[in-house]
Structures are given as C-alpha cells and as structure tokens.
Amino acid sequence: MNDDTDTTISDGPPPFDNEPKAAPSDDTMIAAIDDGPTPEPVGHVDLAAIDAVTQADPALFENENTKPPFSRQVMTTPLHFYVASESLTNLWCHWNGYTVAQCLTSIEDEYAALRQSAALSDISPLVKYRISGPDALPWLRRFVTGNLETLLVDAIIPVVFCEDRGFVVGDGMLFRLGDNEFRLITEETYLAWLLDSTIGYQVHIEDVSTTLAAMSLQGPLSCTILAEAGLSGIENLRPYSAHWFDVAGMPVYVSRSGSSGDLGYELWLDPDDAPSLWLRLLAKGKPFGVKPGGFTLREIARVEAGIPRAGVDYLGVFSAIDPQSVLTPYELGFSALVDLEGAHFTGRDALRAAKAGAPRHILATLAVDWYQPLRFTAIRDASSIVGVVTSSVFSPMLGINLAMATLNPSAIVSGTDLHVEAEMRAELSLQIVKVPARIIAGSALLLPARHLVPAPLGMRP
Amino acid sequence: MERHEAIVIGGGLNGLTAAAYLARAGVDVLLVERNEVLGSAAAGYEIEPGFHMSRFALGTMTLPARTVFDLELRKFGLNVVQLDGGVSLMPDGRYHASYRDGLMYRRELARHSAKDADAWTRFRRDMLRANLSLARALSEPMKNPSRRSFSALRNLLGSADRLAAMPSDDMQDVLKIWTQPCADFLDSYFISDVLKAHLAAKALGGTTLGPYAPTSARFLMNMFKAESEGANGGAPATVLAIGGSQAVANALAASIEANGGHVRTEAEVTDVILRDGKARGVALANGEEIHAKAVLSDLDLKRTFLALFPWKDLPKGFVERVGCFRMRGVTAKINIALDALPQFSALPDDCPALAGGVRAVLPMADLDQAFDDWRNNMPPREPLVETLIPSMVDRTLAPHGKHVMSVAVHYVPETLHDGAWTQARKDDLADLAVSTLAAHSVGLKDRIIALEVLVPPDIENEVGLTAGDFEQGEMALDQMFFNRPMPGLAGYETPIDNFYLCSGSAHPGALETGGAGAGAARRVVSALGKSAAAKRGLTP
Amino acid sequence: MTQPDHIYDVIVVGAGHNGLIAAAYLGKAGRRVLLLEASTHLGGALTTAEVSPDYRASTAAHLLEALPRRIEKDLKLARHGLRYAVRRVQTIALDHDLNHIMLSTRRADIDILRRHSAADAEAYAAYAARMKAYAALLGPMLHGQLPSDDAQSVARRLRRLVWRGERMGPERLEALMRQLPGSIGDWLDNTFETPLLKGALALDAMLGNAVGPYEAGTALTSIGRQSLRGLSGGPHMVEGGLGGFIDALAAAAASFGVVIKAATGVKKILVDHGKVYGVTTHHDETYEAPIILSSAHPRETILNLVGAKHFDAGLVKQVNDIVDTGVTAKLNLSLDGLPTIQGLAPHGYNARFLIAPSLAGLDDAFTAFKHGNFASDIPMEVTIPSVADAPLVPHGQHVMSIVMQYVPYSAEGGWEQHRDRLVDRAIETFSQYAPDLRTRIVAGELMLPPDIERKFGLANGGWYHGDMRMDQMFAFRPTPALARYATPVEGLYLCGAGSHPGGGICGLPGEYAAHAALIRGGRGR
C-alpha cells in the first residue's frame, strides 16, 4: 500500500525474503523436494504468503504491495539494465509484458554473431512453472501428450499439452530437476489450466517466472565461450540435458537447448546473480566475437528452425474465440510429441480419432524465394486463398524469405502451385507481387553441431 | 386532417430508433412524445442550474455501434467515448478496477489471484463465444413457433438439426451459461471473491435475479458487447455519450428529421383509432386525430394495451395475458450535484478506471440478501450501488471543478410491504446509498449541493414505465425470444392489424438497446410494401 | 492369482436400488454378476430401521413414487416379496380451516376444492390435463433412453419432439413455451387463486430439490415428476417401508444368480491399459471382471475408485464441479396412538399429507434455507405408514414419517444448537392440524442433511448424486462424456442416480446402464 520506495537499495532487509522458507505445514505438497541437489532459489515468496491465507492454495494471494497496474513503470527483466547498456539502437519491444530489446546493435551483426560465433540474449520473460510433489510425475504424464519414460533427472524434452478434445492448449520445454521436481518453460501463461488439472493429484505448481532469470547463448562457439567462462566439462553436456555448474561461485543450471537450430545453451539462475553472469559471458566471449542479441534475432532463428510460437503461430484453445481456429498437435506439426500408446493423457481419446481423420489445417514453414524482405498478405493456389501467414522473416543465411503459415490441407497436395502475395512498398508507391512459395519439410535451417557430443570446442575464429 | 404513413407513439430510444430506421427507408413517419424532451428514460435534465445529467437512466451509452453507423448519428452530433470499465469497492475496502488494456488488466487480476489472471482468458473466450451465438440469433427475425405455418415449422426443425449437430460439450456450455446461477458459474472459473463480487454486481445490477438464482449467469455475457470490447483481451469498457443519453436521443431525432420524418413533443396519445378492428391512427389529448397506415407503440406492453385501447376491442383473454406479463421495478435513481470530485480512499491516486464508474459491491451472500429483500418488498438493508460521474470526462455537464454523479441503487422494490414510498423513506434510501459510498469516500456528504431520489413509482409516473421497470418487462427466460412479449406475438405484430409494438417489451428487449425499434421498423417497412431498395436502407 | 470364484462377468459396485436393479437386469441376461456393498445393509438411503425399540419406519425416503411398472414386472418384484401397503397414496394438502384439499380430479375432491374457490375447481381439471399432456410430450426426453451420440439420432429425437409439440395445437404449445423455461410459482399464480392449492402443488413438484418456487426451471422439474409418476402409477407405500422394496430387489437379484456381498467395500477399481479388469476391496481381496458398473456418486467413482489419472483433466474438473445440495431433513416419530388430524375422514389417515399453506410461505422457507436458516413453518410431506402397515409397530402404536423441505446443510453456529428447535418447529407445524400430536410422541429420530451425508455417503446430504438442474440433466448428466453410462475407461459404466435420468428412486439409471453394458460389453458365458 505504501511501499513504493526503490527496492534496489539493499541496506535494510529486502521487502521480500528470497531465502527458501521452511516447508509449509502441509508436508504432502513439499516433502521430498528439499533434499534435492541444488540450492536453487525458487520463489517461495508467493507460496508463504498464500499458505498463510488459504492453506496451500498456490493461486490465491492478495498482494496489495505491488504498484497499481496503471502506474508509470517499465516492466523489466533482472537483466534489463545490463542489456540496455549494450543498446546502440534504443529499439525496444514487448515480450510477455516485459520491455525487451528488439535489436541492440544491428540485426545483421547480431545474426552474423549467432551463426558464426555466438549471440547472448536475455530470455527471462519466458514463463516458468515449478511442478513438484509426490504425484508430479504421474500428473505430468497425464498432462502432456508425450512419453516421459526417457525424462531422467537433468533431462529436457519438448512437450505439448491438450484439453479433452485434443486441441492444443500450449507447448513448452519440460525439465526434470529431481525425482519429484520439474520445470515447465512456456511462451504464454497457463496457470489456470495447470491448477484446474491437478484435481485428484498431490502436486504443487507455482509460477516462478519472476524468481528465475534466464539467458540464452546460441551459436557455433557457444560451448567454447562457456568453457572459457569457467564451465568446465560443458562440452560433454548432451543435447536436451542440463547440469548444475558453479560459475565464479554462482550456481547456474545450464541446459543444452534453445530455439536457434544450432549448438546452444540456456542458463537459468538467481536474478541477483544474472547480471554478473551476463557481464562475464560478454567479457569472456568478446575475443570470440560474441554479441548480445535482441528479440528480433530470436524470432529469425526460431522461424529458421521451424519452431512455432504460441499466441503468434497458433492460438491456445482457451484464447481462440472462433472454435475453428484451434489446432491439434498433428495439425501443428507436433506429431512426434504425441504418444498414443503409453499412459493416459488428457485428449488421448480425441487425438486417436484426430490422427485417423483428416487434418483441417496444417502449420508449415514456407520458403518464399525472393532476395529482399517482403510483407506477406495472402497465400493462394491457382484459384483461392489457402492459408494465412503467421510469422515471416528474411533469413540472412539462406538469403530468402521464410514464413510460418497455417494452410488448408489442400494446399500441401504435391503439385499445387502455391504463391504468396506480398506488398512491395517504396515511399508512396505500392505494388502487390506474387511470389512462388514452397513448403519446407521440417526446418529450414538445422545445423549439425547441435547434435555433436562432445560439443565442438576451441574453434578460434 | 394530418396523415402520415406511420406513427410512432413514444420517444424512448426504441421509438426513436424505429422512427429513424423508418425515415431512412423513405417512410413518412411521425413520432409523438408526451413530454417536452425526447428520450423517455434516457432524458436528461438540469438538477441545479448548470448541472446537467441523465435523470432516470445511469447515463452510459448502450446503443449498438451498428445502429450509430446505420443512422449516421455521428453526423448528427453524437460523440461517443470509451472509458475503462470502472471500479468496484468491497465493503471491507478491497477494490477491483477494470482496465481495457489486457496487459494492465492482467496485472490487476494478478493482484487478486495469479490463477484468475490466467482464467480470465478462458472466461472472456467463453463470454465472447456465447455472445457471438446470441448475436447470430438476434440478427434473424424472431419467428412464432406456435403459428402453424410451413416456414415456422421448417425454422424449428432447422434449429433442432443445428442443435443436434453441436458437440455435446458445446451444448452444455450453452446450457450452463443460460441456466446456471451466476455465483456457481463464476465459481467454476475464478477464486477471488473480489473479482466475483465485481462481475456479479456488474452483470446483475438492474436485473430481477440474484446471484444464486438459476439462469442468472447469462447476464455475464451481456457485458461483452462489441462496443465495449477492450484492447488485447482487457476488461469490457464503459461507453459514454458526450452530453449524456439525452444527446443520443437528440442525435436520433436529428436523423429522423434529416430523412424527412417528423418529431412532435408535448403530444400525448390517448387512444389508438380503430376501424374494422384495424389501427388507423391516433387521437391526441388535445382532441387532434392523426391518421396513418401503421401505428407503432414504444410504450411497454401493459401501458400500450391497458391504456390506449378500450378493453372490449381486444380479443377475449388477451387482457388477462397482458396482465400476466411480469414487470417489476428494481432500480432507484439518485441524482447528485457535487461541488468537488469525490476521492475514494481505497483507490490509488489517479486511478484511470474511476471515470468508468464506481460500484459499491457486496460479497455474494450479501448480494443475494439484497435480492431477497427486494423480493420481500423491502428496501435493501445493504444496497448494491452503481455510480457514474460523467462530468469527469464530459466537462460541459457541470460548472468548472464541480460534478454531477448519477447513482443507481439496485434491488429497490416498486412497492413496500409496509406502506407506500413516502418522501421520508425515499430520503432514507438516499441516505443509505450515500452513506454506503461515503464509507469509501470521506467527506462525500459535505460535497453534495443538490440531490434527487427517484424510486420505481416515481419512474413510472415521470416516464410512464409500468412499475418503474426500465427493461419494460422482466428479462426472464420465459419472457425472452419468441416468448417476448408473449408466445404468438414474437414478430412485433399485435392482435390489432396495423398496430405494432416497438418498445423494450418486444424482442430482443434489454438484450440490445434500440433492437426492438429496429426490428419493428423492418417489419413495418415490409408491411407497407416499400420497395426493395428502401428496405436495403435497413440493417439486415 | 485370483481364485476362480473371484472371477465374474460383471461386478456392480454399490447395492443401492440402482446397483441392485442393474445387477438384477445383468443377471437376468445370463451374466455372472457380483454385487459389492460397503455397508452391512443393502439399499443405501432406502432402508427401514427402528426409530426406537419396536417402532420401525423408512429411515430416509418413505414413498416409492417413480419406479416404472416395467421394472417391477421385468424383475418379478411381486414374486420376490414386494407388497404395497397402499397403492396410489392419496395426497392431501392440510388446511388450517379444515377444508383439506385432496389433489385429485375425482368429483368429490373437486367439490371440496370448490369450497376454497369455484374458479380453481373449474381450472383444476384443465391444469391436470395440461400437465399430463406436457408429461406425455416431454417424458420420453426427461427419462427415456438417450438417443445415441451422433447428430442424426439426436436430430431425429428433437425433430420428433417438435412434431409432437406442434400437434398439441397452438394454444397448449404457447402455454408450454411460456411455462417451460419459467417457474412453477408463476405458472400456478397464473392458473389458480387458492394459496393452499398453489402451495401444495408447488411443494409436490419441488420436494427434494434445492430450488425456490419462483426459480426458473421448476416448471420443468414438476413436469418431470409428473411423468415419472405416470410410469409408476403414483406414489406407493411399501409394506415394511422402503427396506421392503430393497429386500424384494435383493431377492430378485439373487434369483437371477447375482452374488451379493454386503460389508465388502470396494477400495479401488482396477484398470490396465485403459480397461477395467477388477476391483480390490477394503479387505484387500481382488475380484475380477471385464465389466464393472459403479452406482457410486460419479465423483467418488472417477476420483477415488478409478483415479483421476485414467481420465482427461477437463472431465475430472467437470465431475469435481458437480453440485450437490442437501435440502431435506427427515424426522421419524414413534407415537403411542394415532394423532387426530382435525377435519380428516377416518379413511384418510393412510394418505400423504403436504403442509405448504401458500407459495409465499414456501418462498419464505426457501429464502431462510438459502441463508442457512429454516422457516418457523416448515414445509413438509408427512405419512403415517403404520396406519396401513401395522406390523411396523407394536399393537395400537404408530410411527410418523416426516420429510422436511428447505433444511440447510449447515446452520449458523453448527447444527447442535438448532437441532431441538428444528424438531420443535416441525412438531409445532404439524400440531396446527393435529393438536394432540405432541402428547402422543414417545420417541423420535432426526436425520439432518449432514446426518444423511454421514450415514449414507451422500455428499452434502443431497439425495440425487448431483442436483437435478437443467445443466446436469439429459445428455449432460453427469457430464457429456459420461452421459451414456459408458466411460472413457473400457468396461467401466456408471449406473447410479448421477446418470440420466437421475434421482428419485426410479431405478432407470440402473436399468439403462445394464442395457448399455449388455450392448457394448458383448456376450457373457
């Protein structure tokens, strides 16, 4: 109500105590977690407040201390100040309610660093859920469509989750931090669905987005730079696995993951430590040509890698007003993430039917062969509009335009003559051009280094 | 003798809308209004010299954007602004503010509950979906299922097929929103009692149902109109017409006259002239008779048939059926002139949502108690109070620095179980409402320059709404759609040939302001055999 | 390894009347059926027990008013001991001025009604006829078998409804259109003027439902009840109380080879690869069968017996959100003689008495109920079963069975401090018509909604495994995915009152579920 003072001055006790609190009295929720291997600073702040009020309902809390929603404030990540100091362009954009850099230097330079050396980005705005409790694994088995048998501790898998009718609610990356502790990283928030689906399980879910900072180092030299920064043995980290490293006294959870289609790592750590790790990686990486990257770089890389983004390339079933706009995992190209034979999961029966039936839409990546960036309007075949473009980028590496598009199934019949309408604008003149387009099976750009173990190390420029 | 193609009796928003659509279709139409000013319940007045406000209605703008566009009301001086959706204050001092912006609103919701901030997405989706299917139903003329005609039957069988084709989950979603109690429905989405109290108050204010009554959930979707749709998934907005609702009436009148129609005020219709059982015109209180091929009534069903006709001219049993039409007042209006803007201590300074109105809301059980008090013909012991200070946005309404506050007190009965509404009891009600607000706004009472209380009987006397019912007939399921105003009369026609009902007593009633007027106009244009080109001037 | 005598074709969980009926139909079809019941007695809330030593009465529900004749015949219940103490029990609305109204269309009864109002006497026959027509129109939808879950079958059913509705003629159809979505209170207000008649008809329509007489949906409820009575022939009083009915059902089931094990509660229904294969009991015994029917509350079945992990998350939430509201309490009184109901003919004592002097009174009682109170005049349905069924009590003695409507699950400050006051109010309410009641009472027992919950496992003391609301009926009961008895788990069926057509001792969920299991479950031996 009154605490609007600047909290960065830390003489007195901080307004929120970030030390893990003693486990709440309801030991079924938290038991078996505290002996995990890590001092991970997870967000017990909300939990403690909640438990006092509502006996462990993690969602109900009144936090009258926050500034009113209309107050003039920039919502920033823990790294904002340090990212901002790298900005030569002063270009900003919005990601999940946070102000993040759109582009820090120039997109060409950032992209060159990503593909030739490495690019470091702040990915703290991603939504992070901590899932724990004795039933965490069985609950997750029912929650996501995939098979979790291979998900050992410190492994990561991409997951997609559906509602009863088999339509996609969202997708994300699932980390296993311990026997009964998991972390789900998503693009959008799904807390209501997560909590609603816990009925009948002893599982505890909390949003730890604000208590966990994250940065992403992607590119062929990313392993080299991390090794240089003191993460010894990093080269042995296998793709889609993670490990705790001590970096100059900071515990950092490092996963070999990312959305660039190349070798890359994501680093998860306490927000208080994040700035010094950021600075350290930039300093150690400088001789190798590392560059800080902005949001646009992430978008280009993910479209090149063929990764759809929730809320942009598809709408989750709970946000789509038109029932026709919702998609199944098959329609989204997530077939590999669906295991119809294993344990029951939400939407399995519907997906069995969906798999047998014909898709209504298909999300695909289109290559549009044109040497300049284009603005797309409609996708047509010989006679009619057959799809909508949801994301489009110009790939500097491939030298063509790439678009993620939702297409009618008829559009992918081989031999269909697809083309994209694009507007070419030069000052006051506007031209609508038709450019041939072709569907790319899989990703437009996947680089072999992402699979190599040990990861390529020591390739000096 | 004066002669027109069509006469509209009554200058409420439905009557004005009907006349405006008729005029646009090239019908020579005359609208007659008993009072000096147009607008009926939307009429404005000066409570004190220099303090202008809507006298009966709260004063928000409810006319659909489509009507504003069709009738070119912007051209005729209407200026509409969209504001944040207002603030709800709980008796314990907690508050909830409605922001149009989705990101801001998410932060506001997260202040109550992180889960609810996320559940809002789904709630909003379900409300918009329900509204879309309702809008689809409203866009078609309502047919009488009981009339033995091939087309009516085909219509019914068609809807049976459409219903059957729906997945049963979707069908249950429809059933849930149309039949569940508001409180249960909200419980299935949200956990924050402040948010639920806010939504229930916003949905149920002015209705004849309480939060635990079956079929009260459906009022939640009425908030999600296209006109009030927030940006990127925010809360529904409050829409305000500059100059108040009187400005809306004036713009409609200007539209009528610009299209060759006529508007006459201070002309009270005493009788509908009948010849051979057909309406031929109207007789005015001054003895004048005006003839027309079609007569439309913007009066409510009871007033239309019980006052404008000798009962013997109506079909047998009809008067009894009219008598069964439920009309009950639920809202009292308090108009206040203030010498300064009230401050609300619970709210952060400069809260932008304030302009959209302030509600003193109640926890669910207390809201239900207020509803039960109303059913028992008692003034509410703890009232649900809704206010709007339009002068915060519209500076022309009050002298500089001063304000007008429009206050609606909901669940106020038309009759009291223990006597009549005396001035003393009206003052008690006003005092209760003002005290409820003053609990959140210290010094409010001292800022009042002038105050007027209008309880439902006053509204009946001044405006002519039977029982003071703003909805011109309860919007209960048995009085909606093809049952409005009664089964067999769904198409704006009445048992009297050439006589049509265009008031809120007809479909779609309070679901859409002006909807009945537009629908009746369409019906009359086709009855008058206007050319297809003229009909095209009407909304489909 | 499971012992051979632990392997069956079908296991039915829970021996309430629906479980017994389902088991009996399955046994009749030649299946080897095992019926497991946790309690030592069968029948759940339908049971006859001692009110006080030597005085016996139906503990909770006390009349059999919705059991279709078809089930009675199919299961040969008469042969297995079902006897009626009174068939077609008369319904009498007690009047303060002693002009008790008999709810019937017989001329003598209409004449009594005429003493209240000539207009009502005229209107009553038309009302009854109209009610009958509506029941005939909507009955098949309200408690017939559901059409199969494809658009064509549903469309055919709806189209038939439209045709038959049109055939009623515009006047009746218009009245139905107006009344169906509305309240019984408004309907009665528009039809009659006698407060007692309106009050009694409304109570008759709503008894057991947690709704007020002026709430939307009550007209539909009342039509539904009317049409169920049409199937059963009216409310009947069973010899030996409703326990007698259960005994007959159990005997019938046993005669079809059903093995009934009481005091054998099911702990888990066993599922493997999406198929049921058996149950484990609280004694840790395992019984195997490829088909399992559960007559437990859907929430109990899905969440506890089977487990949420076998179902989709949305379905689990829907099942979890099923609303149960307790609204009735039961008071049984042991009497040392027959109380004198003033103005009642001697042959009238075996009737059911309704006490609901007016709609306004009912509505007040409902308002009190909503706010956690009970009215001073409690709406009630009263029978004196010992009048027609003397063996229930010692010679010359009687028992009175009172169902009180609008008694909340929780009372402010806890029930303990209100229990005696409620009993006192109930006795006082009936004493207005039978002043000597109080002097005749030798003992009594009160079953409040929490008692009913504790004793019979009915959530919140609601009798129906989910309130009979419009969004919890038809193909939406208990949820769309579970509505046709079969569940997403292969071989698992729901056969309790939580399924269509719902509660009210009609046995139809049991019968329909048995049919569904027979059709989908293939053949037995």
Q: Are B105 and B119 in contact (CB under 8 A)?
A: no
Angstroms from A284 CA to nearest CA on chain B:
38
Task: Give the model confidence (pLDDT) of C110-146 as tens digits.
Answer: 999 999 999 999 999 999 999 999 999 999 989 999 9
Within 8 A of A69 by CB-CB distance, chain B residues are 97, 99, 104-105, 107-108, 111
Instruction: List chains adjacent to chain C, taking adjacency as at least 3 C-beta pairs closer than 8 Å.
Output: A, B
Asked if C312's CB is within 8 angstroms of A199's CB, the reply is no
Which of A58, A192, A321 lies closest to B119 in CB terms?
Answer: A192
For residue A390, give the H/E element and its range: strand A385-395
Does residue B72 carry a pLDDT above 70? yes
Cβ distance A202 to A31 under 8 Å?
no
- Which of residues 7 through 36 in chain C touch A, CB cutoff 8 A? none
pLDDT confidence tier of residue B232, bands split at 50, 70 and 90: confident
**More confident of the two residues C472 and C28:** C28
Residue B283 has pLDDT above 90, yes or no: yes
- Scanning B249-268 for CB atoms below 8 A from C yields none
Among B172, B365, B483, beta carbon nearest to C178: B483
- Mean of pLDDT over chain A: 85
- Residue B539 has a pLDDT of 47
**3-state DSSP percent of chain C in helix, strand and coil, to 5:** 45, 15, 40
Reply yes or no: is the peptide bond before residue A396 cis, omega within 30 of 0: no
- pLDDT score for B537: 52
Judge: C471–B157 Cβ closer than 8 Å, yes or no.
no
For the cut 80, the answer to whether the pLDDT of residue A27 exceeds it is no
The number of angstroms, rounded, from the C-alpha of B388 to the middle of its chain's C-alpha atoms is 16
Q: Do C320 and A199 touch (CB under 8 A)?
A: yes
Q: Given this model, what pLDDT does residue A21 score? A: 38
For residue B479, give every residue at least 6 positions away whose Cβ sits within 8 Å of its Cβ, in sequence order, or none: B325, B326, B473, B485, B509
Is C173 within 8 Å of B487 when comparing Cβ atoms? Answer: yes
- How many beta-carbon pairs under 8 angstroms link A with C? 48
pLDDT tens digits along C166-175: 888 888 888 8
Average pLDDT over every residue of C335-341: 96
Mark yes or no for CB contact B114/A191 under 8 Å: yes
Angle at B90 between CA B89 and CA B93, to 5 degrees: 85
CB-based contact B94 A193, cutoff 8 Å: no
**Cα–Cα distance measured from residue B145 to residue C170, given in angstroms and rounded to the nearest whole number:** 9
Query: What pLDDT is stored for residue B534 in this prediction?
Result: 54
- pLDDT of B168 reads 85
> Is residue A33 over pLDDT 80?
no
Query: A346–C308: do the CB atoms touch at under 8 Å?
Result: no
Residues in chain C closer than 8 A to B148 (CB atoms): 166, 170
Share of chain C above pLDDT 90, in %: 86
Is A319 at the interface with chain B, CB within 8 A? yes
The beta-carbon neighbor of B164 closest among C154, C186, C481 is: C154
Q: What is the pLDDT of residue B144?
A: 81
pLDDT confidence tier of residue A45, bands split at 50, 70 and 90: very low
- Give tens-digit pLDDT for C60-92: 999 998 999 999 999 999 999 999 999 999 999
Judged against a pLDDT cut of 90, whether residue A237 lies above it is answered with yes
Interface test with A, best of C303, C312, C487, C490 (most A CBs within 10 A): C312
Mean pLDDT of C370-393: 95
Chain A residue with Cα closest to B125: A321
**Residue that the structure tokens 């100040």 belong to:** A81
Q: Does C44 touch chain B (CB under 8 A)?
A: no
pLDDT of residue B290 exceeding 60, the answer is: yes
Place of tokens 């296993």: A176
Is a pLDDT exceeding 90 seen at residue A383? no
Window 173-232 of C, Cβ < 8 Å to B = 173-175, 177-183, 186, 190, 211, 214-217
Cβ-based neighbour number of residue C384 at 10 Å: 25
Q: Which residue has the higher pLDDT, A69 or B329?
A: B329
| Chain B partners within 8 Å of A4 (Cβ) | none
What residues form DSSP beta bridges with C288?
C7, C278
In the predicted model, is pLDDT for residue B1 greater than 80? no
What does the mean pLDDT of chain C come to?
94
Least confident interval from B130-139, B296-305, B408-417, B468-477: B130-139
- Quick check: C315 contacting A, CB < 8 Å? yes
The H-or-E segment that residue C294 falls in is: strand C291-294
Over residues A334-350, the pLDDT tens digits come to 999 999 999 999 999 99
Nearest C-alpha in A relative to B189: A192
Alpha helix locations (H) across B64-149?
Answer: 65-70, 102-112, 114-139
Note the ipTM here.
Answer: 0.94
Calculate how close chain B gets to C439, using CA atoms only, in Å: 37
| Cα dihedral A423/A424/A425/A431 (nearest 10) | -80
% chain A with pLDDT above 90: 71
Element (H, E) at C11: strand C10-13
In chain C, the residue whose alpha carbon lies closest to the alpha carbon of B366 is C371
Contact C421, C432 (CB under 8 A): no
Please report the pLDDT score of residue C368 as a whole number.
95
Residue B538: band (very low, low, confident or very high) from pLDDT cuts 50, 70, 90:
low
Q: Tell me the two tokens of residue A137.
A: 């694994």
Count CA atoms closer than 13 A to A456's CA, side-chain side. 18
Instruction: Please say if the pLDDT value at position A18 is more than 70.
Output: no
Asked if pLDDT for residue C521 goes beyond 80, the answer is no
Question: Does residue B381 belong to the interface with chain C, where contact is any CB pair within 8 Å?
Answer: no
Q: Which residues of A touch B189 (CB under 8 A)?
A: 192
What's the confidence (pLDDT) of residue C1?
52
pLDDT in tens, B39-48: 999 999 999 9
Q: Cβ–Cβ of A346/C303 closer than 8 Å?
A: no
Which residue in C307, C314, C481 is closest to A200 by CB distance?
C307
A137-193: pLDDT as tens digits: 999 999 999 999 989 999 999 999 999 999 999 999 999 999 999 999 999 999 999
Given a cut of 90, whether residue C317 has pLDDT beyond it is yes
Do B165 and C178 lie within an 8 Å CB cutoff?
A: no
* Whole-number Å distance between alpha carbons of B65 and B514: 11
Q: Give the pLDDT confidence of A250-266 residue by residue, as tens digits.
A: 999 999 999 999 999 99
Residue pLDDT, tens place only, B506-529: 999 999 999 999 999 999 999 998
Q: Cβ of A189 under 8 Å from any chain B Cβ?
A: yes
Whether the per-residue pLDDT at B228 is higher than 70: the answer is yes
* Beta carbons of A142 and C309 less than 8 Å apart: yes
Closest chain B residue to the Cα of A321, Cα to Cα: B125
**Does A64 contact B at CB distance below 8 Å?**
yes
Cα–Cα distance measured from residue B176 to residue B297, given in angstroms and rounded to the nearest whole number: 35
* Closest chain B CA to residue C156: B161
What's the pLDDT band for B227 if we cut at 50, 70, 90? confident
> Where does the pLDDT of residue C475 fall: very low under 50, low under 70, confident under 90, or very high at 90 and above?
confident
Chains that touch A (3 or more CB pairs under 8 A): B, C
Q: Would the CB atoms of B114 and A61 count as touching at under 8 Å? A: yes
Which residue in A163, A343, A344 is closest to C314 by CB distance? A163
Interchain CB distance below 8 Å, A196 and C309:
no
Q: Check whether A299 has a pLDDT greater than 90.
A: yes
A74 at B interface, C-beta within 8 A: no
Average pLDDT over residues C492-516: 95
Taking CB atoms and an 8 Å limit, are C217 and B179 in contact across chains? yes
Q: Please tell me what DSSP assigns to residue C278.
A: E
Give A262-275 as a DSSP string.
SSEEEEEE-TTTHH
